């Protein structure tokens, strides 16, 4: 910038320099990553455990073939939805596995549709030379991908929330509900009504949690329900114990937190002082469910 009436001086020379890079990259004729190589005996093993009938999975696989062509393949899977699982082995030609994406077709919820995809380096489903590609729950609106997968175990993360109408027992019978094989439950709340017969005497209900062989936890309510009455009982995590109150005789007690029930385990509701005409109504219970592998 010059100032009027003041002689201008020549600009001082300034040399700009940069530090040359120490790392260089090949940008032409780049070989695919060795970890993605699939030999002539390679295959994909797909395992799916579903608790949601009617929900399917769609898997897209992208491979680089020996002739340099990119090949896309799609596979559709229809697991039975009864926790029993699906296990399929898909042979591959010699190639480089560039990418894999698997998502749900239908309404898949957290905890209800678990997927595991392995890359086998031998033509047997039980081959020990297996590389895990993806593992986790499929949820509507998202998918599992390779490369850069996120591995999630079947008991990790939020489970599927279910409100279940149980079995209405006959008069004189107890309530008994069993976890399906292949499922894991966290019991959040249980409710049922007890109508007592006209036979004199007080009844005292309780709830048991049982393994496949024995009981290991019991909630005993300090309640004496008389004859010819109907009380409504609730067990839930985090609630204080409370005796019969209100016009409908509501009774509540707490369930244990951070406790899992696995397939074949159960909860049962009985009452001391039971009479033949006493009748438990249909239980309704609230669980968080995962796949148990």
Q: Per the structure block, which two tokens stand in for 25? A: 């990259």
pLDDT at 284 (0 to 100): 98
pLDDT at 2 (0 to 100): 57
Q: Which fold has domain 36-146?
A: Lipoxygenase-1 (2.60.60)
At residue 5 the predicted structure's pLDDT band, cuts being 50, 70 and 90, is low
Q: Is the predicted pLDDT of residue 124 greater than 90, yes or no?
A: no
pLDDT at 168 (0 to 100): 97
Q: Is the predicted pLDDT of residue 115 greater than 80, yes or no?
A: yes
- Cα-to-chain-centroid distance, residue 284: 22
Residues 194 and 279: their CA atoms lie apart, in Å, by 6
- Cα-to-chain-centroid distance, residue 74: 25
Going through 141-283 in order, the beta strands assigned E by DSSP cover 143-146, 160-165, 175-178, 183-195, 204-210, 215-220, 230-237, 242-245, 250-255, 261-262, 266-272, 279-280
Q: Does domain 160-291 have CATH number 2.60.120?
A: yes
pLDDT digits (tens, 9 = 90+) for 211-250: 999 999 999 888 999 999 999 999 999 999 998 988 889 9
Q: Per the structure block, which two tokens stand in for 77? A: 């899977």
Q: Is the predicted pLDDT of residue 1 greater than 70, yes or no?
A: no
Mean pLDDT of the chain: 90
Nearest to 154 by CA among 7, 240, 50: 50
pLDDT digits (tens, 9 = 90+) for 35-54: 788 988 899 999 999 999 99
Per the CB < 8 A criterion, the answer to whether 210 and 259 are in contact is no
| Sequence ranges of the domains in the chain | 36-146, 160-291
pTM listed for this prediction: 0.82
At residue 24 the predicted structure's pLDDT band, cuts being 50, 70 and 90, is confident
Residues 163 and 146: their CA atoms lie apart, in Å, by 35
pLDDT at 193 (0 to 100): 97
Phi-psi label, residue 277: left if phi above 0, alpha if psi -120 to 50, beta otherwise: alpha
Q: What is the per-residue DSSP string for 65-85?
A: -TTS-EEEEEEEE---SSSS-
Neighbours of 253 (CB within 10 A): 22
pLDDT digits (tens, 9 = 90+) for 248-262: 899 999 999 989 999
pLDDT at 76 (0 to 100): 98
pLDDT at 10 (0 to 100): 61
pLDDT digits (tens, 9 = 90+) for 74-88: 999 999 999 999 999
pLDDT at 122 (0 to 100): 73
At residue 65 the predicted structure's pLDDT band, cuts being 50, 70 and 90, is very high
Q: Is the predicted pLDDT of residue 170 greater than 60, yes or no?
A: yes
Residues 72 and 249: their CA atoms lie apart, in Å, by 64
Q: Is the predicted pLDDT of residue 7 greater than 70, yes or no?
A: no
Mean pLDDT of 185-214: 96
pLDDT at 130 (0 to 100): 84
Q: Is the predicted pLDDT of residue 206 greater than 60, yes or no?
A: yes
At residue 3 the predicted structure's pLDDT band, cuts being 50, 70 and 90, is low
pLDDT at 163 (0 to 100): 97
pLDDT digits (tens, 9 = 90+) for 135-166: 999 999 999 999 988 899 999 999 999 999 99
Task: Report the length, in residues, of the chain.
Answer: 293
Mean pLDDT of 84-113: 94
pLDDT at 125 (0 to 100): 53
Indicate the burial class of 245 (C-beta count within 10 angstroms; 0-12, 13-18, 19 or more): exposed
């Amino acid at each position: 910038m010059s100032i009027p009436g003041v002689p201008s001086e020549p600009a001082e020379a300034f040399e700009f320099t940069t530090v040359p890079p120490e790392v260089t990259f090949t940008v032409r004729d780049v070989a695919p990553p060795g970890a993605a190589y699939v030999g002539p005996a390679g295959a994909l093993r797909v395992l799916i455990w579903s608790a949601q009938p009617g929900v399917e999975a769609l898997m897209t696989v992208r491979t680089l073939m020996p002739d340099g062509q990119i090949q896309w393949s799609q596979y559709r899977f229809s697991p039975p939805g009864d926790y029993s699982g699906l296990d399929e082995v898909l042979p591959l030609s010699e190639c480089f596995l560039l990418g894999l994406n698997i998502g749900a077709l239908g309404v898949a919820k957290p905890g209800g549709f678990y997927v595991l995809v392995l890359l086998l380096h031998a033509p047997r489903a039980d081959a020990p030379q297996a590389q895990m590609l993806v593992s986790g729950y499929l949820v509507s609106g998202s998918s599992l991908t390779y490369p850069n997968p996120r591995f999630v175990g079947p008991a990790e993360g939020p489970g599927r929330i279910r409100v279940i109408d149980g079995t209405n027992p006959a008069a004189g019978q107890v309530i008994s509900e069993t976890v399906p094989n292949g499922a894991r439950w966290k019991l959040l709340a249980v409710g049922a009504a007890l109508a007592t017969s006209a036979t004199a005497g007080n009844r005292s209900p309780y709830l048991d949690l049982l393994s496949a062989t024995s009981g290991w936890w019991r909630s005993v309510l300090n309640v004496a329900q008389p004859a010819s009455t109907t009380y409504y009982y609730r067990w839930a995590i985090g609630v204080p114990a409370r005796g019969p109150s209100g016009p409908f005789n509501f009774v509540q007690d707490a369930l244990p937190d951070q406790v899992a029930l696995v397939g074949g385990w159960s909860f049962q509701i009985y009452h001391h002082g039971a009479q033949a005409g006493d009748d438990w109504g249909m239980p309704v219970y609230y669980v968080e469910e995962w796949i148990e592998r």
